[in-house]
Chain A
Amino acid sequence: MPEKLRLGIFKFASCDGCQLSLLNAEEELLELAELVEFAHFPEASSRIDSGPYDLVLIEGSISTPEDLDRIQQIRRQTDTLVTIGACATAGGIQALRNGANHDEFMKLVYPHPEYLQSLATSTPISNHVSVDFELRGCPVDTGQLLQIISDKLHHRKFSVPDHSVCRDCKLQNIVCVSVARGIPCLGPLTQAGCGAICPRFHRGCYGCFGPCHQTNTDGLTDWLIKDGHASAELIPLFLNVNAEAPEFARTGAQLKRQDSAEGESDE
């Protein structure tokens, strides 16, 4: 039998949902265990083996001073590092602190902020070390996650489809929520992978897979505003679980400026 792939899974600031997406593989999990050695997966196994690893999956964002060192150490122990989920690829929902008053945030939640170690920003792994592939989603899709592991096992180039959620809707014959129901939807800008579930449930996409490859963000926001949506209504869509993905961050900031300009002209 060939040697098993040594897999390491490491967690930073996150909700554990992306790791759970692997445990959610259920039946495939037992098959996977035949091919892969879970050398570092503390959530599932108390056997912790040290590196080097063949493949490391990182969940979570960099948000404490200790994280800065730890990610460097992990990078040195693997030749292939893949980030999984919006936290690891874009800083996650906790990146909503970026640009806010960090001291005030600490005081709001904790009576003794002096006990805490926290950075003022939550940042993606790729800001700190080189990353071989970024798997999107909040959470990642179990099928895509298995695909990545299988790509590594078979020495294939990592790849997942990079078209938009909007195109998946068309492929699945889902009635467009924007056109038919007037609901603002980020589907045209968001990378596919979820199976277009929000439109399937009659709601707009809030971008949990992050911006897709080629986006015409301004075109979409202009159209939504012409269609009667206020800038203020669109801001939370962009400043969400992928708030720090550059395309979403830029648009969120632009909408904020527009909103305050509108507020001033009303007065």
Chain B
Amino acid sequence: MSESRTIRVGALTRVEGEGALHVSLNNNVIDRVELNIYESPRFFEAFLRGRPLEDVPDLTARICGICPVAYQMSSACAIEAALEIEIPTEIHQLRKLLYCGEWIESHCLHMHLLQAPDFFGYSSGLELGKHFPDEIKRGLRLKKIGNQILEVLGGRSVHPVNVCIGGFYRTPALDELQSLIPELEWGLQAAIETTHWISGFNFPDFVCNYDLISISNSSEYPWFGDTMGSSKGESFDVKEYEQVICEYQVPHSTALQAHKIESQTSCLFGPLARINHSRDNFHPNARELADRVNIQWPCNNPFQSILARGLEVVHAFEEALEICRNYQRPSESRIPYQPRAAVGMAATEAPRGTLFHRYEIDDAGLIQHATIIPPTSQNQKQIENDLRDYLPPLLSMEDDQVAQACERLIRSYDPCISCATHFLKLSIERVE
């Protein structure tokens, strides 16, 4: 006799956005694992058509309030590539600084308020803060410094207003950037302490066989770059992105998924990919810490992404300090250009992984076509595959415990489900 059992657990929490997970079991054997992203489609790629190219960084920022800089950077770089605008080094450094602010803000939010509570069984960062007041206060102050960078360079931390095609509307005065230095110095030490604290967490023993993909530069840890690298040893030019990775739609999720076209296999983007490929390009403190913390390289344990984020925060503070200390205000804040019909693409490393944009522009400088591939849709298939591997030893537990364990794993990828809008409920269906 076959018995069917369905268990529903409330919304997946402490992720940005909402969605659902559906697991179905047949005689205790996993049948389907489906991450359902119940997105309210917002149609960015459609309404971008016909807009002046100048609007694109402000509009695409509104895809995600957690990583607006990533959207501004990928879109500006793609349009600049189309128009062959060369960004001078000093302006490029300021953009990197802006990105440092976003990584610090986003990573510290995830580490302290979203993921850390899982390692202690608390329901929120605020509750965790009652037991670890110093650590959480330190984390919030680190996060705040990320926001301060965004405010100095962009006016505000969510949807900053200063990025434009060709550079910035206004570059900061010397004293504005120098005013950040004392907090950045404190932040560097504090980020090192935070990473040590996290390295003492009790990580589930779960190692995956990943095909990790990120921008890979020969000489610097990636925010920007033209070459993609994979842990399978392949590399490809960002211009070939859509020949290597494609998005497709599945009935159970309204966010598009992605896989490698040739092998139809999933891959993982984000901090684990970057750190495995590029930690040799870390600044000295981050580099040294990466060897000292309790981690086996290459690291293929998704639960340890939180440690990779900690190390990236240390690196971002060092980078930010270097940029602020060496800053000289450029004579021009942006490079002039003439619009013309062209196609351009670019990828940058959002906190959660590679964010690819491609635009077709007409002679008048209006957008004809836009393609945006965000990291979370590229990670979705991999998350499902990992859940499939993670679940079997847990199946003897009560359903609510299985659900909690799945939530913990999903949270470790820091899925930005809000790069679309979603509703995540977990349901487990058992047919016995």
Q: Interface of A with B (CB < 8 Å)?
A: 11-21, 23-24, 26-27, 29-30, 33, 38, 42-48, 60, 63-64, 67, 92-94, 96-97, 100, 104-106, 108-112, 115-118, 122, 138-139, 194-195, 197-198, 200-203, 206, 208, 236, 240-241
Tell me which of A11, A38, A104, A122 contacts B124 (CB under 8 A): A38
Tell me which of B43, B137, B147, B418 contacts A97 (CB under 8 A): B43
A17 with B126: CB separation less than 8 A:
no
Question: Which of B10-18, B80-88, B192-200, B335-343 binds A?
Answer: B10-18
A105 with B11: CB separation less than 8 A:
no
Given contacts A18-B65, A45-B13, is CB(A60)–CB(B158) below 8 Å? Answer: no
- Provide the main secondary structure of the chain B interface: mixed
How many whole Å from A173's CB to the nearest CB in chain B? 16
Give complex CA distance A138, B64 in Å: 12
- Residue contacts A-B, CB under 8 angstroms, 18 given: A13-B40, A17-B159, A21-B158, A27-B137, A33-B126, A43-B16, A47-B123, A47-B124, A48-B13, A92-B62, A94-B42, A94-B47, A97-B43, A97-B47, A109-B41, A118-B41, A203-B162, A203-B170
B251 with A112: CB separation less than 8 A:
yes
Given contacts A104-B46, A115-B249, is CB(A201)–CB(B14) below 8 Å? Answer: no
Tell me which of A106, A111, A194 contacts B248 (CB under 8 A): A111
Contacts of B114 in A (CB 8 A): 44
Contacts of B17 in A (CB 8 A): 11, 16
Given contacts A44-B126, A108-B46, A111-B248, is CB(A16)–CB(B113) below 8 Å? Answer: no
A46 with B155: CB separation less than 8 A:
no
Task: Check B31 for interface membership: any CB of A closer than 8 A.
Answer: no
Give complex CA distance A17, B178 in Å: 28
B64 with A197: CB separation less than 8 A:
no
Task: Check B24 for interface membership: any CB of A closer than 8 A.
Answer: no
Known: A38-B124, A104-B46, A112-B249. 17 other contacts (CB 8 A): A11-B421, A12-B421, A16-B17, A16-B418, A17-B159, A20-B109, A21-B158, A24-B147, A27-B137, A45-B13, A48-B13, A64-B40, A108-B46, A112-B251, A122-B42, A200-B155, A201-B169
Binary per-residue interface labels of chain B (1-34) against chain A in the complex, 1 for a CB within 8 Å, 0 otherwise: 0000000001111111110000000000000000
B14, B154, B161: residue with the most chain A Cβ atoms closer than 10 Å: B161
A43 with B169: CB separation less than 8 A:
no
A15, A23, A45, A47: residue with the most chain B Cβ atoms closer than 10 Å: A15
Contacts of A208 in B (CB 8 A): 159
Give complex CA distance A203, B126 in Å: 38
Given contacts A20-B65, A97-B47, A139-B65, is CB(A46)–CB(B14) below 8 Å? Answer: yes
Give complex CA distance A116, B137 in Å: 42
Question: Closest 8 CB pairs between A and B?
Answer: A17-B65, A197-B155, A45-B124, A46-B13, A13-B40, A16-B418, A96-B47, A105-B46
Binary per-residue interface labels of chain B (143-162) against chain A in the complex, 1 for a CB within 8 Å, 0 otherwise: 11001000000111111011
B46 with A97: CB separation less than 8 A:
yes
Give complex CA distance A195, B418 in Å: 27
Give complex CA distance A20, B16 in Å: 9
Q: Interface size bucket, B side? A: 35 or more
Closest B residue by C-beta to A13: B40
- Provide the main secondary structure of the chain A interface: loop
Task: Check B129 for interface membership: any CB of A closer than 8 A.
Answer: yes
Q: Interface of B with A (CB < 8 Å)?
A: 10-18, 40-47, 49, 51-52, 55, 58-59, 62-66, 68, 109, 113-114, 117, 123-127, 129, 136-137, 140-141, 143-144, 147, 154-159, 161-162, 164, 168-170, 248-249, 251, 254, 256, 333, 407, 418, 421
Contacts of A20 in B (CB 8 A): 65-66, 109, 158
How many whole Å from B387's CB to the nearest CB in chain A? 18
B117, B123, B126, B147: residue with the most chain A Cβ atoms closer than 10 Å: B126
A16 with B64: CB separation less than 8 A:
yes
How many whole Å from B50's CB to the nearest CB in chain A? 9
Contacts of B137 in A (CB 8 A): 27, 30
How many whole Å from A65's CB to the nearest CB in chain B? 10
Tell me which of B46, B109, B123, B169 contacts A45 (CB under 8 A): B123
A26 with B140: CB separation less than 8 A:
yes
B40 with A115: CB separation less than 8 A:
no
B418 with A15: CB separation less than 8 A:
yes
A108 with B41: CB separation less than 8 A:
no
Contacts of B251 in A (CB 8 A): 112, 115
Give complex CA distance A42, B155 in Å: 28
Tell me which of B42, B46, B159, B164 contacts A100 (CB under 8 A): B46
Give complex CA distance A18, B62 in Å: 11
B124 with A197: CB separation less than 8 A:
no
How many whole Å from B415's CB to the nearest CB in chain A? 12
How many whole Å from B187's CB to the nearest CB in chain A? 13
A201 with B155: CB separation less than 8 A:
yes
How many whole Å from A29's CB to the nearest CB in chain B? 7
Contacts of B158 in A (CB 8 A): 17-18, 20-21, 24, 139
How many whole Å from A79's CB to the nearest CB in chain B? 24
Given contacts A93-B42, A201-B162, is CB(A46)–CB(B124) below 8 Å? Answer: yes
Give complex CA distance A15, B159 in Å: 10
B59, B140, B168: residue with the most chain A Cβ atoms closer than 10 Å: B140
Contacts of A93 in B (CB 8 A): 42, 44, 47, 59, 62
How many whole Å from B137's CB to the nearest CB in chain A? 7
Contacts of B46 in A (CB 8 A): 97, 100, 104-105, 108-109
Contacts of A64 in B (CB 8 A): 40
Give complex CA distance A28, B304 in Å: 30
Give complex CA distance A27, B141 in Å: 7
